[in-house]
Amino acid sequence: MKVINFYGGAAIGKSTIAADMYSKLKRMGYRTELVGEFAKWLWYQNATDIVEDQLYLFAEQAHRTRTLEKYSVDFAICDSPLPLNIIYNREPSDAFNTLVMQEFNRYDNLNYLLRRNDEFLAVDGRPETDLPQAKEKDQQILAVLEKYSVPYTVISPWETDKVLLDLKIKR
């Protein structure tokens, strides 16, 4: 199973490009599933106490991905890739970071860091985030990708054709 990961801070377009890639790959006949951001669903339900438990959020995302692998899905599209758990963990721990990266490295990952458009910031399902906070998170994400030598390509949130080219899939 190939896991396609989209990285970036709040409101950069991760969910939008993930949904677009999901739709395109499904219409092409590939077994494709979306591994959506579990924390966003919890925010919509006002389950803010659960959102504070990064270990639980990580376990849920990991479980979803493992389930898709078990059922031989061709592509899992993630708008909340596993390494993001390192950034949002309020109790930093080398053991947790190692666990996250060990789980992440189980898969054949294709990673995209999204380029931010400063004119657009719409935060859905989470506490309000302003542009400086979002940009700070972008830098933290970049630092984690670099620290753990995660290969990535920088794209704009509308460049799904670039992803298809990287997958060697013709439209």
Assign residue 68 the CATH number of its domain.
3.40.50.300
Measured between its terminal Cα atoms, the distance across the chain in Å is 20
Over residues 133-142, the mean pLDDT reads 92
Number of domains into which the chain is organized = 1
For residue 94, tell me if it sits in a domain.
yes
Q: Which domain holds residue 127?
A: 2-166
Q: Tokens for 163, please give them.
A: 């992803």
The encoded tokens of residue 68 equal 């898709």
Evaluate whether residue 171 is within a structural domain.
no
110 in any annotated domain: yes
pLDDT band at 133 (very low <50, low <70, confident <90, very high): confident
Q: Which residue has the higher pLDDT, 121 or 65?
A: 65
pLDDT of 99 over the 70 cut:
yes
- Is residue 68 domain-resident? yes
Q: Using alpha carbons, select from 78, 77, 73 the residue that is nearest to residue 31.
A: 73
- 2-34 per-position pLDDT tens digit: 999 999 988 898 999 999 999 999 999 999 999
Separation between Cα atoms, residue 133 and residue 27, nearest integer Å:
36
Name the least confident of 34-38, 66-70, 73-77, 98-102. Answer: 34-38
Average pLDDT over every residue of 108-113:
98
pLDDT value for 155 = 97
The candidate with the shortest Cα–Cα distance to 64, out of 11, 107, 6, 8, is: 107
pLDDT tens-digit readout, 148-170: 999 999 999 989 999 999 998 86
